[in-house]
C-alpha cells in the first residue's frame, strides 16, 4: 500500500509542463485579411471562346417570324418596349399560349406576353403594363413605328402568307 507522502509517477495523460509555442501568432497589423470566395488567379474577362462570325438573321419565310414581327409595344414604357424589341430581334420572343393573370384583378385577362397588368388596369392606373411602374413618358410606338419594324425584317406590315 502506498502512503500519502509517496508521490510516484505522474498520471498517464497529465501535462508535466507547458512547452513554448514554436510558431507564435504574427502581430495584428500583419495578419491576412479574409479573402473573397473566388480564389482564382485567372483574369475576370477574356475573349469569347466561340465568337459569332456573322450576325443573327431571321428566317423571312417563317410563319412564326411573321407573327412575332406584328406584335406591338404600344402602351409600354421605353424600357419594356426596348426589352421586347430585343427579344423579337434575336428570336427570343415567346408568345403566350394561354391568357395570364392580371396582378390587379387576378383574372386571366392578359393576352400579350411579357405583361403583368391587363390593358384596362394599366390604362386606369396610368402604369406600364410590362413593369407596372408609372413612368409612362416615352410610350411604345405608333402605327408608323410598327410599319418600319415590319419592313426591317423584310415583311409587309399587312403581310399575307
Q: Is 102 inside a domain boundary? A: yes
| pLDDT at residue 94 in the model | 92
Domain residues for the domain of 109 are: 76-141
| pLDDT at residue 101 in the model | 92
pLDDT in tens, 101-150: 998 888 899 989 999 998 888 888 888 999 988 755 545 454 445 555 55
Q: Is 14 inside a domain boundary? A: no
| pLDDT at residue 90 in the model | 86
Tell me the three-class secondary structure of the chain, residue by residue.
CCCCCCCCCCCCCCCCCCCCCCCCCCCHHHCCCCCCCCCCCCCCCCCCCCCCCCCCCCCCCCHHHHHHHCCCCCCCCHHHHHHHHHHHHCCCCCCCCCCEECCCCCCEEECCCCCCCCHHHHHHHCCCCCCCCCCCCCCCCCHHHHHHHHHHCCCCCCCCC
Q: How many structural domains are present in the chain?
A: 1
Q: Is 19 inside a domain boundary? A: no
Q: Is 60 inside a domain boundary? A: no
pLDDT in tens, 33-86: 666 666 666 667 788 888 878 878 888 888 988 888 888 888 899 999 999 999
pLDDT range class, residue 159, cuts 50, 70, 90: very low
Q: Is 84 inside a domain boundary? A: yes
The model's pTM is 0.53
Q: Is 117 inside a domain boundary? A: yes
Q: Is 131 inside a domain boundary? A: yes
Amino acid at each position: 500500500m502506498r502512503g500519502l507522502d509517496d508521490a510516484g509517477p505522474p498520471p498517464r495523460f497529465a501535462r508535466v509542463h507547458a512547452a513554448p509555442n514554436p510558431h507564435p501568432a504574427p502581430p495584428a497589423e500583419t495578419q491576412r485579411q479574409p479573402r473573397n470566395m473566388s480564389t482564382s488567379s485567372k483574369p475576370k474577362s477574356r475573349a469569347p471562346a466561340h465568337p459569332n462570325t456573322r450576325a443573327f438573321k431571321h428566317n423571312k419565310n417563317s410563319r412564326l417570324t411573321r407573327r412575332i414581327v406584328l406584335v406591338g409595344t404600344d402602351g409600354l414604357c421605353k424600357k419594356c418596349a426596348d426589352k421586347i424589341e430585343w427579344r423579337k430581334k434575336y428570336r427570343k420572343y415567346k408568345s403566350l399560349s394561354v391568357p395570364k393573370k392580371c396582378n390587379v384583378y387576378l383574372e386571366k385577362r392578359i393576352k400579350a406576353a411579357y405583361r403583368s397588368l391587363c390593358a384596362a388596369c394599366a390604362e386606369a392606373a396610368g402604369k406600364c403594363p410590362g413593369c407596372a411602374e408609372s413612368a409612362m413618358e416615352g410610350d411604345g410606338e405608333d402605327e408608323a413605328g410598327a410599319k418600319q419594324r415590319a419592313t426591317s425584317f423584310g415583311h409587309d406590315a399587312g403581310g399575307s402568307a
